[in-house]
Amino acid sequence: MDANEKDALIDVGSGGRAAVETALEKNLRAIDIPPRPLIIDRIRSEMLQDEPCFRRVGQLINADVGLAAGLIRTASSPSFGLRARVRSVADALMLLGLDVTSRAVAAISLRRAFPNSGHYVRFWDASARIAALSGWLAQEVGLPGLHAADAYTFGLFRDCGIVILLRRLPGYQQTLARANLDAKRSFTAVEQADCPTDHAVIGALMAVDWWLPDDMCQAIRHHHERSALAPAASELPRVSRLLIAVSQTAEHLLQELRGASRTQEWVKLGDACLPLLGLDEDGLRSLHAGATAIIDAAE
Amino acid sequence: MTGFHLRSAAPRVVARLFVEAEQAGASLCVLWLDLDRFRQVNDSFGYAEADAVIARVAGRFRSVVGERGTLLRMGSDEFVALLPAVDTPDAERMAGRLLALIDQPMPLGGMLFRPAVSIGITWRHAADDPLSLLERADRAMSEAKAQGGNRFAVIAAEPPRATSGARAARQDLEIEGVLHVSLATGDLELHYQPIIRQDGSVEAVEALMRCAVGGRQVSPLQLVAVAEKTGLIVRLGEWILLQGARCAARLREQGYRTKVAINVSRLQLCSASFLSVLHAALICTRLPADAIELELTESLFMDVSPVVQANLRGAHEAGVGLAIDDFGTGYSSLANLKDLPATKLKFDRAFISELPDDRRAFLILGAITRLAGELGMVVVAEGVETAEQLAACEAAQVDATQGFLHARPMSEEALLLWMRTRRTR
């Protein structure tokens, strides 16, 4: 996440829309973390059938126009790397399969599950760019076990705990600013010094609740930990480490290519991420042109 | 742990090796290795140190088996090697080398520790299926252990038996398979059983996990045992914590101040991030800490490992209630009660089932209830099934009771309905 985007969360606007937003917020405050959309349960229960019916799942997704459009758009994007053109939900289902579709649906539903007002818009836009870049980068590095769709979903879910903490803990905005600037302590260590928990724990809890696969839940939980990335010492599954490395590298590319960033994550984690992806500094530079095209497409 | 297949993969991996052995016309030998006194290491030195010991033992095992076989991790301290075309002298030589190598001292908690293992050896019989072969290897290992450990025992290839051990092992693997699927698909449910005060009000509800295997409900105890063995417990535990907290939040929304009691396992409490997860669940559901309560067995309260103690203290300081579950079945001494940060004591059902006939049980119940009450704890009797048992508990001045007499565990929806009909606040 770009520091500017994270900063944007701090400057809460006080314009004319404020009253409407307050009303919306109040409404949302009654609920806890966004509950898992019913559609995910439905797709999952279809997957449990001996012969899952794609047509039935297609009908369920098509019943929600926004979701259907989001799925077609996401599956068609270069982040997913499908060579065939995706023109309908049925196409997306055939090409992605039920499992990946259910995760893609989770990713698309995520943003809709949170308030999409004012200062949160830029947060989600930044997450969307990191997700798009992550999906594309996963294809570029072409490592076994690392799927573009999973890298995309992870990029979106990774920081969702930040939104929850901002809405729950007064003073978390200042913590966030400090965590962005700290070049020594891990991001979550800074959070833990101020708060009883951190955004990675919250995000992982939400991922468990939304039935994301275990590798992804673990990756969310540990995505700021340098020790989790070291192959010898890490207890983290390889796929989880790859997801973390891809998203951190995607974030770094975004910051380099769009400039002006004050986060310190690459300083702390970059040299652990690159070897995991089989990249060096030259290799990273060679990705700039492709990454720029993806960022432009995501905007 | 690199180089080891997970337990959940065992049936598949062994089935593949069956086919390969069949095609090659070769035998298939199984070595089942189990660390001796692991529980002691765990209890005395804590989870992290015990893990380091396991990792070293696993490394030594791997170095002896090398390229000759396939490795599986069957439990926290249990490993299996599957070795094609290894005959009896060869297998015994390998087991001997293993015993010698594992016996080399390794650092543990500032001193040198000599690990020891028990090894079971067997071979595939033509009538075996993957599970029956593994069960026989496990049985051979148990024989080695029964002879004092630090040795190996051999059972020749023989037709599989339908022993209760084999049935239990089979059932465990079945439950594990279901748990894996359930955790990936959300096919799990929590049910809630009310705990009723003497005045009829609801003191709390206990969250209990429900999961069906082959159309039959598996007891929460059995589920947790399998989940602990396979490492699924952490994810499962986090899910239960969040769902339990959600139920507490919904009860509050409806105007009930009823606490939700959530069972916590040893592995969860051994995690350095336990408190973070607990707070995350509270923050996500906007609950005050005293809306939930954690239920732990006595042995966990007695656990000396610093992480467990810090987690218990942290939860207590945050205001989360701590209940001693299944009291009367473990080893806690009365003297220890004064040092525990517990807010509730739950008498095990085994104790209550002796009532009202067992006079001594009744006297102990009354005496401990008074003592716990003076220490500021709420006392609950579990497993109350008859009106006579309830009367005995009330006569012993127990604060609250839980059991089929009041209500069976029920879904959240049914619980809300049940609360409404009782008009309990």
Q: Is B114 on the interface with A (CB under 8 A)?
A: no
Give the pLDDT score at B228: 74
Give the pLDDT score at B270: 86
| Mean pLDDT of the B168-188 span | 66
Give the pLDDT score at B398: 97
Q: Using 50, 70 and 90 to split pLDDT, how confident is the model at A261?
A: low
Does the pLDDT value for residue B63 go beyond 80? yes
Give the pLDDT score at B312: 92
Does the pLDDT value for residue A219 go beyond 60? yes
Does the pLDDT value for residue B49 go beyond 80? no
Choose from B8, B51, B276 for mutation: most chain A CBs within 10 A: B276
Q: Is B276 on the interface with A (CB under 8 A)?
A: yes
Residue in chain B closest to A207 (alpha carbons) equals B239
Take residue A24 and report the two structure tokens written for it: 């919306």
Q: What whole-number percentage of chain B has pLDDT above 70?
A: 88
ipTM of the shown complex:
0.81
Residue in chain B closest to A168 (alpha carbons) equals B283
**Is the pTM higher than 0.80?**
no
Q: Which residue has the tokens 């693997």?
A: B173
Please indicate whether, in this complex, the C-beta atoms of A48 and B184 are within 8 angstroms of each other.
no
Size of interface A-B (CB pairs under 8 A): 73
Give the pLDDT score at A19: 47
pLDDT digits (tens, 9 = 90+) for A104-148: 888 888 887 876 666 678 788 888 889 999 999 999 998 888 888
More confident residue, B169 or B278: B278
Residue in chain A closest to B247 (alpha carbons) equals A32
Q: Is A168 on the interface with B (CB under 8 A)?
A: yes
Which residues lie across from B192 on neighbouring strands?
B207, B410
How many CA atoms are closer than 13 Å to the CA of A201, on its beta-carbon side? 27
Nearest CB neighbour to A32, from listed B238, B246, B275: B246
* Chain A residues touching residue B281 (CB < 8 angstroms): 205
Q: Is A19 on the interface with B (CB under 8 A)?
A: no
Q: Where are the domains of chain B?
A: 4-160, 172-424
Please indicate whether, in this complex, the C-beta atoms of A214 and B246 are within 8 angstroms of each other.
no
Helices (H) and strands (E) in chain B, counts: 16, 18
Take residue B374 and report the two structure tokens written for it: 């003076």
Nearest CB neighbour to A32, from listed B181, B187, B285: B285
The DSSP bridge pattern shows strands B189-197 and B202-210 to be: antiparallel
What sign does the dihedral B352-B356-B359-B362 (CA atoms) show? positive
Would you list the DSSP string of B294-319?
A: EEEEHHHHH---HHHHHHHHHHHHHT
Q: Using 50, 70 and 90 to split pLDDT, how confident is the model at B231?
A: low
Q: What is the 3-state secondary structure of A71-135?
A: HHHHHHCCCCCCCCCCCCHHHHHHHHHHHHHHHHHHHHHHHHHCCCCHHHHHHHHHHHHHHHHHH
Please indicate whether, in this complex, the C-beta atoms of B183 and A213 are within 8 angstroms of each other.
no
Choose from A102, A169, A201 for mutation: most chain B CBs within 10 A: A201
Would you list the DSSP string of B107-160?
A: EETTEEE---EEEEEEE--TT--HHHHHHHHHHHHHHHHHTTSSEEEEE-----
How far, in Å, CA of A152 to CA of A233, rounded?
27
CATH fold of B172-424, please?
TIM Barrel (3.20.20)
How far, in Å, CA of B206 to CA of B408, rounded?
11
Cis peptide before B356 (omega within 30 of 0): yes
* C-alpha distances in Å from residue B189, one per residue of A47, A102, A106, B225, B356: 19, 20, 21, 17, 35
Q: Which residue has the tokens 């067992």?
A: B358
In this structure, what are the phi and psi dihedrals at residue B226, rounded to the nearest 5 degrees?
A: -65, -40
pLDDT digits (tens, 9 = 90+) for B209-230: 887 766 667 777 777 777 776 6
Neighbours of B254 (CB within 10 A): 11
Q: Of B385, B264, B240, nearest to B321 (Cα)?
A: B264
| Secondary-structure class of domain B4-160 per CATH | alpha beta
* C-alpha distances in Å from residue B218, one per residue of A49, A249, B222: 22, 45, 7
Nearest CB neighbour to A197, from listed B183, B280, B285: B280
pLDDT digits (tens, 9 = 90+) for B325-373: 988 876 666 666 777 789 999 999 988 998 888 999 899 999 999 999 9
Choose from B239, B246, B254, B283 for mutation: most chain A CBs within 10 A: B283
Give the pLDDT score at A232: 64
DSSP A25: H
Nearest CB neighbour to B186, from listed A32, A41, A201: A41
Task: Give exposure, A53-86, as e/b (b: 16+ Cβ within 10 Å).
Answer: ebeebbebbeebeebbebbbebbbbbbbbbeeeb
Q: Is A99 on the interface with B (CB under 8 A)?
A: no
Q: Of B194, B90, B80, nearest to B140 (Cα)?
A: B80
pLDDT digits (tens, 9 = 90+) for B24-39: 888 999 999 998 877 7
Instruction: Report how far Cα A21 is from the mean position of its chain's Cα atoms.
Output: 24
pLDDT digits (tens, 9 = 90+) for A76-101: 888 777 777 788 888 888 888 887 88
Q: Of A127, A145, A126, A147, nearest to A136 (Cα)?
A: A147
| Mean pLDDT of the B277-293 span | 94
Would you list the DSSP string of B73-88?
A: EEETTEEEEEEET--H
More confident residue, A25 or B316: B316
Q: Of A83, A87, A107, A77, nearest to A293 (Cα)?
A: A77
* Chain A residues touching residue B58 (CB < 8 angstroms): none
In this structure, what are the phi and psi dihedrals at residue A71, rounded to the nearest 5 degrees?
A: -65, -45
Neighbours of A175 (CB within 10 A): 20
Q: Is B242 on the interface with A (CB under 8 A)?
A: yes
Residue in chain A closest to B187 (alpha carbons) equals A45
Does the pLDDT value for residue A73 go beyond 90? no
Give the pLDDT score at A118: 65
Please indicate whether, in this complex, the C-beta atoms of B283 and A197 are within 8 angstroms of each other.
yes
